[in-house]
Amino acid sequence: MMKRKVLIGVTAVYVLYCMYFYSTESLAKSEWTCQGASDRSTVCEFTHFCISRAHGPFIHTDATPPSINMINTGSGEDMWFTPQVLSKRRVRYIDDTLMVYGLYSPFHFSHYVYNGLLPLYSTLREHNITHAHWLLRTTTYWSKHTPVDMHVFPGAQDIVLEDNAAPLVPLCFTKAIVGTGNRCSLWYCEQDIPYTHLESFKHDLSALPVNEDDACIRNTQRYGNGTSLTIGILNRHHSRHITNMPELIQALLGHFADVSIHLLNFDDGCDLRSTAHLVETFDVFIAPFGNALGAGLFMKPNAIVVSIDARWYSESWFYWPLTAVGIRLYHFQCNRASCQEYQPGLVRSLAPSYSYDDVVKVMTLENPENVDWHVVEMYRKDVNRRVDIEQFIPWLDSIVNTTQYHCNDMCQPALERHQSHHLYDSVVMT
């Protein structure tokens, strides 16, 4: 009996060996060409680029392979990738192109889209790859195990190296594009994303079906039945909460005669497609400053995004990606004490050792002394806020009833970089 089991085991191993040996090919030598204005913006095209669980990405060559930056942010956050060099391997060839990329911060919606998906999508379009079948993520700057939504690449096999998802049997691709060339719509990227690629991204995403049972869509609350003006409002619950939202909604319904208001809750877990579906019909999108403003990408050109800022805090980050697609971004800020919500617990979570007086200074003074300015900025970014409705309604009316873009000092550098003045009816510097 024992001899029989041994014979069966040896036979099985031999059969598997034969199946592997005769279904694979010898690894051919790789060649590559690289393009880019600098090392940070280099993109390389390889032949015979392979991957396995045991060795990760590898090639066969007698030369030294290039090192390629995989991240689309500032130079201080570059992450470099070089394939291993192996030889005398049996591999299974796939006659297709592998796109090799990295992600900056997949848990953060705007970084995921603007520093991740859009650079990847743009690189594929630049190489005339309209349907990506194989993707390989080699690098993640933050939160590498975050599940990601790749709806815009339907049917693509997305291999995540950091999740040990590489195949057991070495796969070798006839061609691989490695790197996305440090491209994004922000000031710190060396390459811009062409407007045609941004529009194509939006078009491809909008063509995908929507799951109407998605909690994000199902929990949207609607007020008013107007058809001439559609306003979307997002209110965060865990931080930056707008505390007088009911009064704001009633004021909007009372002022605009033919308006429909959609109150959103992204905390319910919107995927990329449902987010685009919710905002693509909005004329105006209002949200506390932060991640959600990036959803303005999916709005129609010359639509309006309004950032509700806390007292004494505004940022220019979202001007860069939104002006690139012709969206008018405005910041509304009330610096009066009546607009401020006081959260001593938030200060103490940022600085547990602060005295009572220090906590009060952070909450109440524009330029507090002898406290960490990082604590001050983080508090102002995350604190709850009120909208000065008396000032906000006529202000919003003035920008809704004009197609001119009144661009301020924070907006101007972004507008100049993208040279997208043609996307607006006109631009007025204020």
Domains and their CATH numbers in the chain? 25-205 (no CATH), 212-341+384-429 (3.40.50)
Query: In sequence order, what DSSP letters do the residues of 80-123 get, joined into one string?
Result: EE--EE--S-EEEEEEEEEEEEEES-TTSHHHHIIIIIHHHHHH
Q: What pLDDT, on a 0 to 100 scale, did the predictor assign at position 246? A: 96
Q: How confident is the model at residue 421 (pLDDT cuts 50, 70, 90)?
A: low
Reply yes or no on whether the pLDDT at 24 is more than 70: yes
Mean pLDDT of 28-51: 96
Q: Pick from 299, 370, 310: which is nearest to 342 by CA?
A: 310
Q: What pLDDT, on a 0 to 100 scale, did the predictor assign at position 268? A: 67
Q: How confident is the model at residue 2 (pLDDT cuts 50, 70, 90)?
A: low
Reply yes or no on whether the pLDDT at 13 is more than 80: no
Mean pLDDT for the chain? 91
Q: How confident is the model at residue 12 (pLDDT cuts 50, 70, 90)?
A: very low
Reply yes or no on whether the pLDDT at 10 is more than 80: no
Rg (CA), the chain: 26
Instruction: Answer whether 0.85 is exceeded by the pTM.
Output: yes
How far is 280 from 303, CA to CA, in rounded Å?
10
Q: What pLDDT, on a 0 to 100 scale, did the predictor assign at position 108? A: 92
